[in-house]
Structure 1
Amino acid sequence: MGWQLSRFALTKQVPLTISRGTTAKVEHLLLEFSYGGCTGRGETGGFDTGQRCFDTPALEQELRQWLPSLGADAPPPRQQWRSLLAPLSPPARCAVDLALHDWWGKQMGYPLWQLWGLGLDRLKPTSITLGLGSVEEMLQRLNSWRCMLPATRVKLKLGSPAGISHDQALVEALLPHLAGAELQVDANGGWDLETAKFMLPWLVDRGVVLVEQPLPARSGDEQDFAALHGLAPIAIVADESCWGIEDMLRLAPYVQGVNLKLLKTGGLTDAFLMAQLAQHLNLNLMLGCYSDSSLLNGAAAQLLPLVEWPDLDSHLNLINDPFLAPPRQGDLLMPSQLPGIGVP
């Protein structure tokens, strides 16, 4: 059993600005696991959600220190992966979890979605993201997206440091250009409670269908979400506040959805468990990304049959993606038909 860890750079064609800052380039890690003539691959990288921050060099050090503990024997049964990887941080765990899943699927000869017993009859279009900026920059970005795909679902980043008036100006300027597209907004925790209480009904009046992470993530923030519950007929989706099963359970009474990102959940093992639990909690799922390549988004795409709001567009904004993108028809992303994660 052999492991190989290497770095690779990812550069955005258009830098993305959110309430916490701008990202133009990141460095990620590729983890390759080989055994029995078969190689599985996983990806991870640093990210910052405001309340939790992970650094790529620190993740590399964590993985290099932990991987030798696996020894050279055959990988453990899949049922043991969750407990085996528990000591790792979520993004480090993600790299190992994806490599093991990719290897397992390739050994079995099927893509993960088929091994999980999922079908492809309920796939939904992915949203495309418009970052914070001027009105002119926002509309230019929308036009550039439309040169690539239909953009039937648009996610607008709000929570501007310039204040609520700038957020409102962006929404008002965008509305005439939607051409029937669904509009979502993501404040990335950039509003306080009073601003959120004002903005939710205001956004409903303008046809917005969901608001993602309106409030800052913090310990006990379920009470903040409770203060918004039932205020307006709009779906509230928790992202930075929801990392794992425990977060999903505490937030479920007050939100209509949660955003699963594999770097937060620690890979596919817990993400699949959370997706199954969401069905019992009557929660819809968003499936999101950070500055991720086609490998990480291709792994996430295996969950698409369970997702109401796909948001896997980061790989479409890269100028140096080292992997082949997951298949898509227009803005309808699909899990690969190839074995494992399915990303060549």
Structure 2
Amino acid sequence: MQLTLKKYVLHLKHTFSISRESHDFQDSLIVCLSLDGCTGYGEATANPYYNISVESMIREIEDIRNELETYDFSTPEAWHGFLTQKGLTNFAICALDLAAHDLYGKLKGKPLHQIWGTSLNHYPTTNYTIGIAPIEKMIAKMQETPWPIYKIKLGTADDLAIVRALREHTDAVFRIDANCAWTVEETIHNAPLLKELGVEFLEQPLHADNWEGMEKVIHHSVLPIIADESCIVESDVEKCGLHFSGINIKLTKCGGLTPALRMIKKAKRLGLKVMVGCMTESTVGISAIAQLLPQLDYVDMDGAMLLKEDIAEGVRLTAKAETVFPNIGGSGIVLN
């Protein structure tokens, strides 16, 4: 199996800000795995919050390049088990796991959602994310991309005023993501006011390790609460069952599609709603997320829409918020 690593610097259409950071560019690692005339593509983005850079991921992977290229590839699941034994970070494992899944589907000549036995007859529509900015800029971003569901990033001194102002310009469903910026009191106070403004749920209002606070919130909030920073890997799902209404799985954080599939099953057994989110990936990462759509309640896969220029073709979103799947195997990715 041939391994190729590519670094890209993705240029965003607008400065993207959340409660703890802002950026105009997103560094991304693309892993290419080639076997028997087919090439699979995987992606993992850099993330300073988790101390991950493209360079650090490349160093990890290069250290075991020979073992990777001589591995007797059979299934993505066996490949993932091999990778976890090598002590790689989940971000690096994710890129390799996504590439293996794309390759496997292309070798089989089937998209992953078919291999997994799921149907595209029904699946959720992605939200479109509006990052923190002056209110007039947030309104302008929303008007630039009319969409049925918006995720609104909050964590400012004027959060309620922001949502009220945005509501004057659209009837779309709102989802709120405070990225750990609120207190217990703020969350419980804001929830009924936001519900009146057409908010569907709140995502990660409290700090990731504030489990005592989340237990108070889940019993007093009139809105569902979705875990993000509190749900990183498989072992977090069960704990979230007692403190949240649902979980947001990030492929880069959990280590790819292989553990994500297990997390989805576990969450459903616990009665949790399931969302999969993106990390401003290109169409490479977004196309992998899209294969999970029939298994999800919510999805945040707008990453490629936030870019000035994409680096791949695959699953795409139309201006009417429709998801279009390509007629090729795996995740359906072709690198430009």
TM-score bracket, normalised by the shorter chain, equals: over 0.9
Is 1:207 aligned with 2:198? Answer: yes
- Structure 1 equivalent of residue 94 of structure 2: 94
- Structure 2 equivalent of residue 109 of structure 1: 109
Per-residue CA deviation, residues 198-218 of structure 1 (Å, 9 max, x unaligned), is 222322232311000101113
What SS is found at the alignment partner of 2:120?
coil
57, 64, 70: which is aligned to 2:55? 57
What SS is found at the alignment partner of 1:57?
helix
Provide TM-score, normalisation by structure 2: 0.94
- Structure 2 equivalent of residue 340 of structure 1: 330
214, 219, 238: which is aligned to 2:227? 238
What SS is found at the alignment partner of 1:320?
coil
- Structure 1 equivalent of residue 38 of structure 2: 38
Is the CA contact 1:302–1:336 (under 8 Å) kept in the aligned structure 2? no
- State, as a whole percentage, how many aligned pairs show the same letter: 31
Is 1:159 aligned with 2:155? Answer: yes
Length, aligned pairs only = 331
Q: How do residues 1-344 of structure 1 correspond to structure 2 at under 5 angstroms?
A: 1-49=1-49, 52-86=50-84, 87-146=87-146, 151-160=147-156, 163=157, 166-178=158-170, 180-218=171-209, 221-329=210-318, 330-344=320-334
Is the CA contact 1:298–1:341 (under 8 Å) kept in the aligned structure 2? yes
Distance 1:225 1:205 in 2: 22
Is the CA contact 2:7–2:27 (under 8 Å) kept in the aligned structure 1? yes
Is the CA contact 1:315–1:325 (under 8 Å) kept in the aligned structure 2? no
| Amino acid of the structure 1 residue aligned with 2:107 | Q
Distance 2:174 2:231 in 1: 22
Provide TM-score, normalisation by structure 1: 0.92
Shift of 1:73: 4.5
Q: Which segments of structure 1 move beyond 3 Å, counting only runs of 4 or more?
A: 76-79, 334-337
For structure 2, the residue ranges without an aligned partner over 5 or more in a row are: none
Q: CA RMSD for the aligned pairs?
A: 1.6
What SS is found at the alignment partner of 2:199?
coil
Shift of 1:261: 1.4
What SS is found at the alignment partner of 2:220?
coil
Is the CA contact 1:103–1:340 (under 8 Å) kept in the aligned structure 2? yes
Distance 2:135 2:75 in 1: 53
| Amino acid of the structure 2 residue aligned with 1:93 | I
Distance 1:156 1:89 in 2: 30
Relative distance call for 1:125 and 1:234 in structure 2 (3 A) is same
Shift of 1:45: 2.1
Is the CA contact 1:301–1:334 (under 8 Å) kept in the aligned structure 2? no
Relative distance call for 1:212 and 1:73 in structure 2 (3 A) is closer
Relative distance call for 1:338 and 1:252 in structure 2 (3 A) is same
